[in-house]
């Protein structure tokens, strides 16, 4: 596994943004971004500082003797709530960023919406488990309700909205990982 990916996973596990981690380590957000994408390497002293801010040490960080996990439970799920947007995102697979796809469980309160995502390479798939949503793709809107799925290539700005009076829940899978 790449050093940057391991740091990114640790940062997300602690619920920190790149900027928050950078501030705690007295580094720039740009350096953290480049580090997580393996575009730069830290000195040992800087790595030790970063790991300390992330609650671990060199030995634990580099201990790779764990067997790859196949089945994930409720304890593995990382959840992020944004009350202003009315969204709850649950990352179902904690290390999905290293994979080719990333499944999440998305919950949208009535009137809730995801952040408008810019066009990018890949594919997006969703399956509505509860309620109904509107998929905004460029200047077009598509409705999907419970029991319906959607699939698109994200070649235009896109987001998902809940325009109903009921909470919407959906399984959403992105490739490559982008959540």
pTM of the model: 0.62
- What's the confidence (pLDDT) of residue 93? 86
Q: What share of the chain is helix, strand, coil (3-state, %, to 5)?
A: 25, 30, 40
Domains in the chain, start-ordered, CATH in brackets? Answer: 3-62 (1.10.260.40), 74-175 (2.60.120.10)
- What's the confidence (pLDDT) of residue 114? 96
Tokens found for residue 158: 């896109």
- What's the confidence (pLDDT) of residue 67? 61
Are 85 and 106 spatial neighbours (Cβ–Cβ below 8 Å)? no
* Distance (Å) of CA 67 to CA 2, 34, 59, 94: 17, 28, 17, 15
């Amino acid at each position: 596994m790449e050093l940057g990916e391991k740091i990114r996973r640790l940062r997300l596990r602690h619920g920190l943004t790149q900027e928050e981690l950078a501030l705690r380590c007295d580094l720039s957000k740009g350096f953290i971004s480049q580090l997580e994408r393996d575009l730069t390497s830290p000195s040992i002293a800087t790595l030790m500082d970063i790991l300390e801010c992330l609650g671990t040490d060199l030995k634990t960080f580099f201990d790779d003797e764990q067997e790859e996990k196949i089945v994930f439970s409720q304890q593995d799920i990382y959840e992020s709530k944004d009350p202003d947007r009315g969204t709850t995102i649950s990352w179902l697979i904690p290390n999905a960023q290293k994979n080719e796809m990333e499944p999440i469980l998305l919950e949208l309160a009535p009137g809730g919406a995801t952040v408008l995502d810019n066009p990018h390479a890949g594919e997006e798939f969703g399956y509505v488990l509860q309620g109904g949503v509107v998929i905004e793709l460029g200047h077009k809107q598509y409705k999907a309700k419970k029991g319906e799925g959607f699939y698109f290539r994200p070649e235009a700005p896109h987001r998902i909205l809940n325009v109903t009076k009921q909470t919407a829940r959906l399984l959403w899978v992105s490739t490559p990982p982008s959540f």
